[in-house]
Structure 1
């Protein structure tokens, strides 16, 4: 079990570092803010994965990836995709802590 936790932690950490570095290189604006949000989501997933492995993290991870992919597309596409991504906190409301 420790190996799985370590892998998830390292995996989410790599995504967080990449997303935050990408955000630092972007000019000020909504796109930079959303890239920072994606990086923070990965960082939160990293912290959760450090405590215990949880398959439910994958939903949050996929939502963060979807947000990042929408940022890489044209700005008008990113605006419509942003409306469909739910914040990570709202996804955790009905979950039990393991």
Structure 2
């Protein structure tokens, strides 16, 4: 992974630009944290090849993906499941 520095730099820039465009709050703070993690990984990659930082990179990507999902996703799915079960019981009673 000879271009690790460039990859991490691109991820850091993208994450920090995304954070700048977000309104104040917890999500913006977490997005800034992700950008800082990418910056630290970039600095580590600048000193030499190191495979150990790939786990940190994957963890940062997982955190960033979780920020993209809306926090209401689980409750919507649970509501749909509850509605579906109520509808199915109503159909059986008829």
Q: TM-score range by the shorter chain?
A: 0.7 to 0.9
How far did 1:75 drift? 1.9
Gaps of 5+ in 2: 74-94
Structure 1: 4+ residue segments shifted above 3 A: none
Query: Which residue does the alignment assign to 2:63?
Result: 67
- Asked whether 1:24 is paired with 2:27, we answer no
Mapping of residues 1-98 of structure 1, within 5 Å: 4=2, 7-76=3-72
Structure 1 unpaired stretches of 5+:
78-98
Equivalenced residue count is: 73
- Report which of the two has the higher share of helix: 2
- Please give the alpha-carbon distance, in whole angstroms, between the structure 2 residues aligned to 1:44 and 1:75: 28
Alignment root-mean-square deviation, CA? 1.3
Give the drift of 1:52. Answer: 1.1
Report the counterpart of residue 89 of structure 1 in structure 2. Answer: none
Give me the TM-score of the superposition, normalised by structure 1: 0.71
Task: Supply the distance in 2 between the matched residues of 1:76 and 1:70 (Cα, whole angstroms).
Answer: 12
**Alpha-carbon shift at residue 74 of structure 1 (Å):** 1.4
